Amino acid sequence: MGAKRQRIVDKGPSFYANSPGSSFMYNAPPNGYVSQPPPQFPVVRLRGLPFDCTETDVVEFFHGLDIVDVLFVHKGGKFSGEAFCVLGYPLQVDFALQKNRQNMGRRYVEVFRSKRQDYYKTIANEMSESCGSPRRNIPRAKSYDEGKDSAEHTGVLRLRGLPFSAGKDDIMEFFKDFVLSEDSIHITMNSEGRPTGEAFVEFANSEDSKAAMAKDRMTLGSRYIELFPTSVEELDEAVSRGR
């Protein structure tokens, strides 16, 4: 579990990735000399978040910025109202700080600079709290107790809580005990073409999708993933919205 954790910032539109729009990113000169220090890890800390805040709310709060990871901070098993947000590039930290004391819902949110070590220390704390019992101290979604276990299976599952940098290969690895193809995985996008943190997966049959529910609330990278039985109609609707 811990080994997969660091994938969040090692892939996707991140500080470490090669991107055509990242000409300002640090590159060591050919002669090996460094004329300036490497850029800082692009992470900010948020405080004062609504207690029903979701990853999507944080993405919308930082509208226009590249969000690589959102890590909510829990204390005693309860959401503390704080979170870390890893951005795509170091220069985006300054833009994120401009959102300091702006409102999310009825609450104003404080935005601070943070450090790589604080982010990773919080990851370790979050993971250690759930060690030995992956579901302990994780707030259940309301829909979890509303018939998820008894829902009819059609061979399609909806995934919620995906890292924004997650790709189809990551989802295939998550369900490595099942035969899946890239065509059977549908990562939903918002109107701007950015991942929503949700996806739909088509399994070979309803028996496989029911068996795959054993992965409900297990972790993919930094995220525990919620699984929901759903229908082909909901899948088609979600895919058409993202086009």
Q: Give residue 130's pLDDT.
A: 58
Query: Of residues 37 and 165, which shows the higher confidence score?
Result: 165
Quick count: other Cβ atoms within 10 Å of Cβ 210? Answer: 17
Q: Is the pLDDT of residue 18 over 60?
A: no
Tokens standing for 5? 């954790």
| 74 bridge partner residues | 79
Query: Of residues 28 and 207, which shows the higher confidence score?
Result: 207
Q: Which amino acid is at 85?
A: C
Cα(102)–Cα(96) distance, integer angstroms? 11
Residue 207's alpha-carbon distances to 96, 168, 171, 195, in angstroms, are: 45, 22, 19, 28
Model confidence over 135-151: pLDDT tens digits? 333 343 333 444 556 67
Query: Of residues 10 and 208, which shows the higher confidence score?
Result: 208
Residue 242's alpha-carbon distances to 100, 235, 237, 238, 239, in angstroms, are: 30, 11, 9, 7, 5
The alpha-carbon radius of gyration of the chain (Å, integer) is 19
Q: Which amino acid is at 147?
A: G
Model confidence over 173-227: pLDDT tens digits? 999 999 999 999 999 988 788 888 899 999 999 999 999 999 988 888 777 788 8
Cα(46)–Cα(64) distance, integer angstroms? 17
Residue 8: pLDDT band (50, 70, 90) is very low
Cα(202)–Cα(82) distance, integer angstroms? 35
Tokens standing for 124? 């370790």
Cα(10)–Cα(8) distance, integer angstroms? 6
Question: Counting beta carbons within 10 angstroms of the beta carbon of residue 121, is it exposed (0 to 12), middle (13 to 18) or buried (19 or more)?
Answer: exposed
Residue 77's alpha-carbon distances to 72, 135, 187, 220, in angstroms, are: 11, 11, 30, 20
Cα(51)–Cα(79) distance, integer angstroms? 7
CB contact set of 120 (below 8 Å; sequence gap of 6+): none
